[in-house]
Chain A
Amino acid sequence: MHPGIPYLVRDKLLNSLIERHALFVRFFYMLREKGVPVTPTSFLRLQKALALGLIASVDDFYTAARSILVKSERYFDTYDQVFAHHFKGATLEEITDVELTDIAKALLEEWLKRPKEMAEALGLDEKKLAQYTPEELIRYFLDRLKEQKEAHHGGNRWIGTGGTSPVGHSGRHPGGMRVGGASRNKSAIKVAMERRYRDYSQEGPLTELQMGEALKRLRRMIPHGPRDVVNVDKTIVETMRNGGEISIVFDRRLADRLKVILMIDNGGWSMDPYIEIVQTLFNYARSQFKDLKIYYFHNTVYSRVWLDPQRHLRPEAVEEFSRRDPDTRLIIVGDAAMAPSELRWANGSLYVGEPEGRSSEDRLKFLARTFRHAVWLNPQAEASWNYTWTIEAIGKIFPMFELTLDGLDKAVQRLMKRH
């Protein structure tokens, strides 16, 4: 604290600093509460940015805090809402030591899960940290908070003081920064209230491009084609064996030779809402996989699947699949929703005149046995799966994943797993 400042003023300043700190901690918690995955490490990093005097106004805080705390545009909208709510005429309530301890405790609990990051954030080394008891850690954290308050004496680098920091606002700096006239000249709160990122908060439909990203790893590289890649290790060995006379060894280059079978449920109104997404998957699969067979079925698989989408002209008996390469990846796409009888009964097929003999459940189990690497992709939201009995039943036969980016990603992991 500056020696020249009278006590009364000093205490007032200190209090306002504590208040502001509490304001940030609450902001942090509110973000978490609203589902933005902010980490304590990033929170400390924000503190560091404040300590460095990089943030001189609410505007700066809005932008800097977002870039430091929020790591996906999906949460930008939530951030905007929390920010607008939190800093709009923000009331600076006093915060007691007890509350501060509670906050510190909660933060530390989080940190204990990630000791390395925590050590880094606190500027301690991991070994030293391991020797601390939780109480000592909390003490350490509180001390650090105090230090930080002291480091900001004068408070003129904190938010809301009108930006007297020497670093100033980028953009309006007298240094002649070229900003292209894009500055908004609106307060950050107003900007936040505009909710510019509303459109990003929901996951849009999957595009082919995104499918590509998810399915990219679904491949199996094996040597194929002309021998035109130098094998350095073998070349060295051969050259030595050759008494120093260079003997270059070529290998075939690696090419993707993964076999994929895609079975699509293209019948019935229940799949109608998903036609577009399945079509996208289909397009991607066709352009990406060299060895791809696509079959169609309605609701579930009986004795046959079809090569033609009309399921009429080119049937193929399911038993025949036992002759396929068992390493083939089988991907079944369907909502798995149907009447229980369709799955269970030996003659459950919807179609009259199709003597079956075995239930669809048996057929599916047969496919699952034949292909070790098989998944079922369900375009219905996972949250609704519990309500349909057949989804649950099929989920026991095939690992089932949602037809979304995350689901695809998991499905691909599953398909590439060695087992």
Chain B
Amino acid sequence: MNPVGEPYRFQGASQYVLDDELAKIVNVSIALEMPLLLKGEPGTGKTMLAHAIAESLAMPLIALNVKSSMKLLDALYQYDTLTRLNDSRFGDSKREVSNIEEYIRMGKIGQAFVSDCRTVLLIDEIDKADTDFQDDMLDVLDQMQFDIMEIDKTITARNRPVIIITSNAKKDLSDPFLGRCNFHHIAFPDPEMMRMILNVHFPDLSEGLAKACLHAFYRLREFRGIEKKPATRELINWVRALRADPDFDLKAVENGEIPYLGVLFKKSVDMNLAIQQAGRPRK
């Protein structure tokens, strides 16, 4: 537990626009030593937040990108048997073949545990893994230790990492999992917030262009039947595309035309729907 006047307080970082609410939640989670589970639709900056926290607290970031086939052990450590076999056969490495420890490589969680300084551990897209992985992982994070069977050694975290877990899933994670996390849902930024995000990325963006783009963008998100709605990343890329186009006409966007639709819609079905609906005059 940090003493009062704790040294670690999250203050936002240069590339991330942090809202007040989120800052509080991050701080409470750090103080309570609880993993923070962030949910929200893609493009709301869940992953970015972990980067921002790491930057702000001046801690290294260790990111574990969860995959559906992943086993918990992969995230903890790997025993590199093949290299050992190879060394034992050819014996041309500096490693001591009889010392198994030299062939143990830390996975991402392991790295966060053995790191000399406190780290930010990002566990990205936890919803991709199965429930067993999720629950077992939280056991490890609860106890802050795990065993390496091959060398009969227990790895205990030297410094408790700041843990950020993200999930894209609409579906809730298991109850035991949720019970051990603090939770926040990042809502999609409102236009005001989005304007600030644009400012961070394009400090010299003109008021007229920003207004027209935002207006068009939020209108596009209202289109019916869209599977993957354009999010922050698409908006930023779109603005970038518009600014790069020498023939770009601001008036056209203001009048409801949407050039470079393909930057905003990544699926062909969505694209077709968007073309149909974008053509309709606004009321």
Contact = CB atoms under 8 A, between A and B. Distances in A.
A345 interface: no
B85 A246 contact: yes
A60 B24 contact: yes
Interface string B107-132: 00000000000000000000100100
Contacts of A209: 170, 227-228
Interface stretch (A11-19, A147-155, A169-177, A371-379): A169-177
Interface string B170-195: 11100100110111110100000100
B23 A64 contact: no
A179 B85 contact: no
B272 interface: no
A244 B88 CA distance: 9
Interface in A187-213: 196-197, 200, 204, 207-210, 213
Given A177-B23, A178-B13, A181-B196, A196 B187 contact: yes
Interface in B195-229: 196, 200, 227-228
A63 interface: yes
B20 A183 contact: yes
B182 A117 contact: no
B17 A180 contact: yes
Contacts of B23: 170-171, 177, 179
Nearest to B181: A71
A68 B175 CA distance: 14
A42 interface: yes
Nearest to A68: B182
A129 interface: no
A120 B220 CA distance: 49
Given A67-B25, A68-B182, A170-B23, A235 B34 contact: no
A159 interface: no
Contacts of B184: 67
A204 B19 CA distance: 26
A53 interface: yes
A230 interface: yes
B53 to A, nearest CB: 13
Interface in B20-51: 20-21, 23-25, 27-29, 31-32, 34, 36-37, 39
A166 B68 CA distance: 44
B16 to A, nearest CB: 8
Of B1, B4, B23, B181, the most chain A CB neighbours within 10 A belong to B23
B20 A236 contact: no
Contacts of B183: 67, 70-72
A67 B29 contact: yes
Contacts of B185: 72-73, 76, 197, 200
B100 interface: no
A51 B20 CA distance: 22
Given A71-B172, A183-B20, A184-B20, A49 B31 contact: yes
A45 interface: yes
Of A72, A74, A200, the most chain B CB neighbours within 10 A belong to A72
B12 A246 contact: no
Interface residues of A, number: 61
A405 interface: yes
B169 to A, nearest CB: 6
A369 interface: no
Contacts of A173: 9
Interface residues on B, range: 35 or more
Interface string A46-86: 00110011110000100110011011111010000000000
Contacts of A76: 185
B179 A42 contact: yes
A393 interface: no
B156 interface: no
Contact of A171 (B24, B31, B178): B24
Nearest to A62: B21
Contacts of A403: none
B277 interface: no
Nearest to B1: A52
B25 to A, nearest CB: 4
Given A217-B130, A409-B171, A117 B179 contact: yes
Contacts of B282: none
A120 B268 CA distance: 52
A209 B12 CA distance: 32
Nearest to A71: B178
A383 interface: no
Of B14, B183, B196, B200, the most chain A CB neighbours within 10 A belong to B183
Contacts of B193: 182
A405 B32 contact: no
A182 B181 contact: no
A97 interface: no
A167 interface: yes
Given A170-B9, A209-B227, A409-B171, A180 B32 contact: no
Contacts of B88: 244
27 contacts: A54-B32, A63-B21, A63-B25, A67-B29, A67-B182, A68-B28, A68-B32, A71-B181, A76-B185, A117-B179, A166-B4, A166-B5, A167-B4, A170-B10, A173-B9, A177-B9, A177-B12, A179-B23, A180-B18, A180-B200, A182-B196, A196-B187, A200-B185, A213-B169, A216-B68, A246-B85, A405-B170
Interface of A: 37, 39, 41-42, 45, 48-49, 52-55, 60, 63-64, 67-68, 70-74, 76, 117, 166-167, 169-171, 173, 175-184, 196-197, 200, 204, 207-210, 213-214, 216-217, 230, 232, 235-236, 239, 244-246, 405, 409
Given A166-B4, A180-B200, 12 more contacts: A52-B4, A71-B178, A170-B10, A177-B9, A179-B18, A179-B19, A182-B18, A184-B20, A200-B185, A230-B82, A232-B82, A245-B89
The 6 closest A-B pairs by CB, nearest first: A73-B185, A71-B178, A180-B17, A178-B12, A171-B20, A182-B19
